[in-house]
Amino acid sequence: MSETESGKIQVALASIAYARSGDKGRNANIGLIAHSEAGFEKLLEQVTETRVLEHFAHTPVTRVVRYEMPNLGALNFMLYDVLGKGGSQILAIDAQGKALGQVLLTMPIEVSADELVACSPQIVSHRTEA
Amino acid sequence: MRKVVRVANVQAFWGDYTQAAKELLNQDSEVDYLTLDYLAEVSMSILAKQMRRDPKLGYARDFVKVVEAIAPNWIAGSNVKVVSNAGGLTPQECAERCAEVLREAGCTGRRIGVVTGDSVLPALQAEKGDVPEFRNLDTGESIETRREDLITANAYFGAKPIVAALEAGADLVITGRVADPSMVVGPCVFEHSWLWDDYDRLAGATVAGHLIECGTQVTGGISSHWLELEDPSSIGYPIVEIDLQGGCVVTKPAGTGGCVDERSVKEQLLYELGDPGNYLSPDVAVSFLGLNVKDLGGDRVQVDGAVGSPPPPTLKVSGTYEAGFHGSGTLTIFGQNAVEKAKRAGRLVLDRLKRQGLEPQDSRIECLGGGAVAPMREDLKQQVTELVLRVSVADERREVIQRFASDWVALVCCGPQGTTGYAGGRPRVSKTVAYWPCLISQEQVSVSVEVFEA
């Protein structure tokens, strides 16, 4: 976490969202889901196609398409050609794009301290009470 | 008419936990259907390889063991039905083997449905020249240069043949290639007496099928909150309860590990999803844009609001073809400057191949633990003292990979100090099977359904 000139703080996307990725032939998708409605606004504003393309500049990705799913508070990103020749022919360790979600969650975003509270996961327990 | 149809998935892929079917039936006796998926994109080519050794073995043999394991439940009065694509390239052979094990177990009276006709390899190879429908869906490449290299080509069937088998009284439906969600849509259409133009309902069941087709991925597996899961070793396999309108509740058997909550369900909804407004299956085109996800607590999450429209007129085909050879070697490098040492050792092996006139057409050096999956800051990279070096090569010539495999081990003496982990021996030389996705018109495919008593 570091403070920027605008008084906002820089945090990893993982502070306000969670993700899941997988392969679709030579392409892969990453679903990115906000922990809260306020967080979804931040995703819309900061996790743009351009930024995602830059974030994956170390891969063969050629273009990124972003789909908005406000009903789920989520964005879906298609990363074209990110798996080169595709799952069975790519030589890279992450041949099925399984790690791409975790990689996306390291992207830095800017929020104010108040916004960070509003965007953070609500503390809920999914465990069944005895 | 029943209120909900309860469908479980107990096999997400060929290689998944083999005890899941038996365990789930013992944990939850009220499940109406078990679905088991054995076929990933290139699985058919593994089955083709298996068939070269024995022409009868074009199916997933693990499935027969599952049938054997649940026979006692049937004998004890369970009426659970089973739908699986374990038939692979030879559903008939798979069905006969299942009938045998049921007879051996003394389980009589069960009916087995067999769905065949999904192999379209002859159709793809019959026509000459470029055929627009058979072009690679991902690359647009013409099939002309690949036609002779094709190993398998199978069209994805929808739920219709599964429903036909159930209507003919099948307890066990064995198919070849079928769209994964259709294994859930079929039972819903049959039990709820839906029509084939009840698109919103079909869409709802397709979403339910999509949610459970990867098994434990919806009960906490691979989730962002995996570390929070309770007892992952007993993680429950998923169950969807689909109502008359196509809405569903996702859940898992009581007392199992993992979790079904808003997060695990939303993650799996987005798994391998393209355009959320146009998810295509052979049964229906689905929009996810009106879906509502509501956590009911107690590992129950309700999902409804799917909207459907008519499916595309063509069927998707999953083809495989031979594309040369590949191999990978891994070694552990420990010590100062591990990243630099590893990269240099990798280059050493590739340089030797080049000097011998065997430069691979494709190669890659990776430092696992030193920024292979995502870039690592230079100063952090220099601090890495332990990593796995992985070098991979691919080429049309088998001898390139063979030479790589033998040269690899030479690093034991000529590589950097701190190189270890040779116990695995030489890297394996593997045939590369590439994926050919394309389309085919419905008229070129003829599906057949047969039901017999075991």
Q: Least CB-CB distance to B362: which of A33, A72, A91?
A: A91
pLDDT tier, B351 (very low <50, low <70, confident <90, very high otherwise) = very high
- Across B23-42, average pLDDT: 94
Q: Are B405 and B426 in contact (CB under 8 A)?
A: yes
3-state SS, B363-398, equals EEEEEECCCCCCCCCHHHHHHCCEEEEEEEEEECCH
Task: Write out chain B residues lying below 8 Å of A33, CB-based.
Answer: 263, 266-267, 270
Give the N- to C-terminal CA distance of chain A in Å, as an integer: 38
Give the N- to C-terminal CA distance of chain B in Å, as an integer: 28
- Across B236-241, average pLDDT: 98
Cross-chain Cβ contact B275/A98 below 8 Å: no
Q: What was the pLDDT predicted at A128? A: 47
pLDDT above 80 for A127: no
CA distance B452 to B135: 38
Angle ∠(B174,B178,B184) on CA atoms, nearest 5:
80
CA distance B112 to B106: 15
- H runs (alpha helix) in A59-126: 100-104, 113-119
Number of CB pairs, chain A paired with chain B, less than 8 A apart: 122
pLDDT above 90 for B69: yes
Cross-chain Cβ contact A31/B437 below 8 Å: no
**Which has more confidence, B325 or A121?**
B325
* ipTM confidence: 0.94
Q: Directed axis angle between helix B182-192 and helix B199-212, to 10°?
A: 130
The per-residue pLDDT for range A52-65, each reduced to its tens digit, is 999 999 999 999 99
What is the distance in angstroms between the Cα of A128 and the nearest Cα belonging to chain B?
Answer: 6
Q: Are B420 and B332 in contact (CB under 8 A)?
A: yes
> For residue A103, what are its two tokens?
């990689």
- Across B254-273, average pLDDT: 97
Q: What was the pLDDT predicted at B42? A: 76
Q: What was the pLDDT predicted at A124? A: 52
- The DSSP element (H or E) to which B111 belongs, if any, is strand B111-116
3-state SS, B203-266, equals HHHHHHHHHHCCHHHHCCCCCCCHHHCCCHHHECCCEEEEECCCCEEEECCCCCECCCCHHHHH
Nearest residue of A to residue B298, measured between CA atoms = A128
CA distance B31 to A1: 48
Task: Write out chain A residues lying below 8 Å of B303, CB-based.
Answer: none
Q: What was the pLDDT predicted at A4? A: 67
Task: Write out chain A residues lying below 8 Å of B299, CB-based.
Answer: 126, 128
**Which has more confidence, A3 or B194?**
B194
Question: pTM to 2 decimals?
Answer: 0.95
pLDDT tier, A89 (very low <50, low <70, confident <90, very high otherwise) = confident
The per-residue pLDDT for range B303-328, each reduced to its tens digit, is 999 999 999 999 999 999 999 999 99
pLDDT above 80 for B221: yes
pLDDT above 50 for B114: yes
Task: Write out chain A residues lying below 8 Å of B432, CB-based.
Answer: 88-89
What is the distance in angstroms between the Cα of A32 and the nearest Cα belonging to chain B?
Answer: 8
